[in-house]
Amino acid sequence: MTLRTHQLEILEVMKHTSKGQIIVPTGGGKTLCMIKDAERILFNLGTRGDKTIVIVAPRILLAEQLSEEFLKIIKNVSVLHVHSGETDHKSTTKIEDIYYWNKGTKGHKLVFTTYHSLRRVRESNIDVDTIYFDESHNATQINFVKEVEFFSNNTTRCYFFTATPKHSLSPNKVGMNFEPIFGKEIVSVPAPDLIKQGYIIPPKVKSVKYSNHYGDTHVRDNETLINILKNEDNMEKVLVTAKSTRDISNLITQTDFQLKCHSLKYNVLWITSKFGAIINGVKVSRDKFFKIMNEWGANPDKKFIMFHHSILSEGISVSGLTSCILMRNLDYITMSQTIGRVIRLHKEDIKNIDSGNLKPCDFDGYKKPFGKMFVPVYNNVGISTERRLQTVVDTIFNKGEPAVSVVRK
């Protein structure tokens, strides 16, 4: 796997810096930086003794996805998951089990956990050499700061990866600008550089205005979404961020939306913490949902529209998405993360750029020239969402700055 220029720069900085923040736009390949750094630490330094590396994620789903990505490249390691989710690997949240697994397991070890379960790892008193905090803006939450501070001060190496730093101006809340815990910003990769180099594509914001804003929400959403699917380009694989899980359920179960989608050759997927994972009206396991989602994302002949409220906003890789529709307003961090779902290059564009048949930024030649972000607007409804979305796009993709969220109270 060929590393990009900015990834090589990140890895070089990590060689010489034991703690700090690494700011990389969504789609910039920060996971591969973690993996290649871990591979170097475990196998390429001639290091004596067994080492334990901990990878922290905000959600169980992301911890599982990170585990899969790590193990595609790193072999001959033992793996433990510390969270309450199901996994093919050994998994526990019991402190004594973590301790005895670490003590009794020979060789190098990878521990995948969540911010919520990180306390269990701390209380097990295992020696941790390196820790990676993924989506590290979550590390500023008051329930997690104690554990984060402990590992920041008690590991040999500690890194905080995010596209969306969270700072604080309040004396009562900790932000990533508090260097004793989070260290300094050691790398910041501007999004425009990644676009110029052909690693991501720019987002394009479009408001879709409809006059019908009366009646039940699910009836209105049915009309709006079908019109978008019928009349807009680049709508093969669509992610919809809904206002609530109830709105999703009402749309699917109380209208003819799914029938209309099927007539347009769209599959309908939705996933929520309340209702679980559903594909074309059939409830499936989460593992099957994500397997099919990524298979269809990579298949140019498959069209789908996929609904969620928040579960897919952060970190989860959704293969092949062409467009996103925002049915509700989001905070700056979640909006930035959501944009990141649709700005990954089409696989044909990657192939053509790598072979020299397509120049980066020659968007007329791109199969997918931009990631579309739609905001339905009904009179004054949706206006604030559109404005915030455009502000985030201008900040990240025009000015080249991270979308920093600031706590002031």
pLDDT, tens digit, 9 for 90 and up, residues 247-269: 999 999 999 999 999 999 999 99
- Residue 360: pLDDT band by 50, 70, 90 thresholds? very high
Which pLDDT value is given to residue 1?
66
Q: How far apart are CA 272 and CA 300, in angstroms?
A: 26
Which pLDDT value is given to residue 47?
63
Q: Are 5-189 and 195-407 the same fold in CATH?
A: yes
* Mean pLDDT in residue range 180-193: 96
- Buried-state track 15-25, b at ≥16 Cβ within 10 A, e below 16: eeeebbbbbbb
**Are 76 and 97 in contact, with CB atoms under 8 Å apart?**
no
Q: What angle do CA 169, 171, 177 make, to 5 degrees?
A: 45
Burial of 344 (0-12, 13-18, 19+ CB in 10 A): buried
Which pLDDT value is given to residue 315?
60
Its sign, for the CA torsion 329, 331, 334, 337, is positive
pLDDT, tens digit, 9 for 90 and up, residues 55-73: 999 999 899 999 999 999 9
3-state class (DSSP) for residue 162? strand
pLDDT, tens digit, 9 for 90 and up, residues 293-323: 989 998 989 999 999 998 787 666 777 899 9
Instruction: Name the fold adopted by 195-407.
Output: Rossmann fold (3.40.50)
Which pLDDT value is given to residue 214?
65
Q: What is the reported pTM?
A: 0.90
pLDDT, tens digit, 9 for 90 and up, residues 220-244: 899 999 999 999 988 999 999 999 9
CATH of 5-189 given 3.40.50.300, 3.40.710.10, 2.130.10.10, 3.90.1170.30: 3.40.50.300
- Residue 193: pLDDT band by 50, 70, 90 thresholds? very high
Query: pLDDT at residue 216 above 90?
Result: no
Q: Across the chain, how many H-helices and E-strands are there?
A: 15, 18
- Sketch the domain layout of the chain as residue ranges: 5-189, 195-407
Burial of 265 (0-12, 13-18, 19+ CB in 10 A): exposed
- Residue 212: pLDDT band by 50, 70, 90 thresholds? low
Query: pLDDT at residue 331 above 80?
Result: yes
Give me the DSSP letters along 326-340: ESS---HHHHHHHHH
